[in-house]
């Protein structure tokens, strides 16, 4: 088998792996894989007819079905493991996990988000506690060359 024919063979194997089988005619296989018909014809002996509408490489079909079975078993085992890990010890919580915003509002005593940002002590600068707004003003004044208040 030439290197070109081997490449065509690999293309056919890849297509069969994805789709499960190949079309019966060499022309259809060539159109699907983008490989010239003469190379496809050299490879079709390795893909006997599986039924009236499909061709398949027997070894690849066997490996594919084994992998599909293993995958199904692993999916089921993963679901059982997740069920055992996450559902065995509790009935679940009716309370949602607090978000950053809800924790911040709770710490500020329930003020609105924008109000809380303006009033929150965010920075210590020049020995003073500054809110975010005051700190930005301080930086602007320094950038403009004025002495901060």
Q: What is the residue extent of each domain of the chain?
A: 1-85, 111-149
pLDDT of residue 69: 94
Query: What is the pTM for the complete model shown?
Result: 0.53
pLDDT of residue 139: 81
Quote the mean pLDDT of the chain: 80
- Residues ≥6 apart with Cβ < 8 Å to 123: 129, 130, 131, 132, 135
Residue 17 has pLDDT above 60, yes or no: yes
**Angle CA 9–15–21, to nearest 5:** 100
Confidence of residue 140 (pLDDT cuts 50, 70, 90): confident
CA atoms within 13 Å, Cβ hemisphere of 91: 2
131: which strand partners?
121
């Amino acid at each position: 088998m030439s290197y070109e024919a081997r490449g065509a063979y690999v293309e056919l194997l890849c297509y069969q792996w994805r789709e499960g089988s190949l079309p019966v005619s060499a022309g259809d296989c060539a159109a699907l894989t983008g490989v010239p018909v003469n190379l496809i014809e050299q490879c079709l002996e390795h893909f006997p007819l599986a039924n009236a509408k499909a061709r398949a490489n027997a070894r690849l079909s066997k490996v594919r079905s084994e992998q599909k079975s293993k995958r199904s078993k692993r999916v089921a085992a993963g679901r059982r493991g997740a069920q055992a890990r996450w559902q065995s010890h509790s009935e679940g919580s009716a309370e949602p996990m607090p978000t950053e915003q809800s924790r911040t509002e709770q710490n500020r005593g329930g003020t609105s988000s924008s109000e809380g940002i303006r009033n929150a002590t965010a920075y210590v600068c020049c020995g003073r506690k500054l809110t975010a707004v005051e700190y930005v003003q301080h930086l602007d004044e320094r950038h403009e060359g004025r002495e901060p208040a």
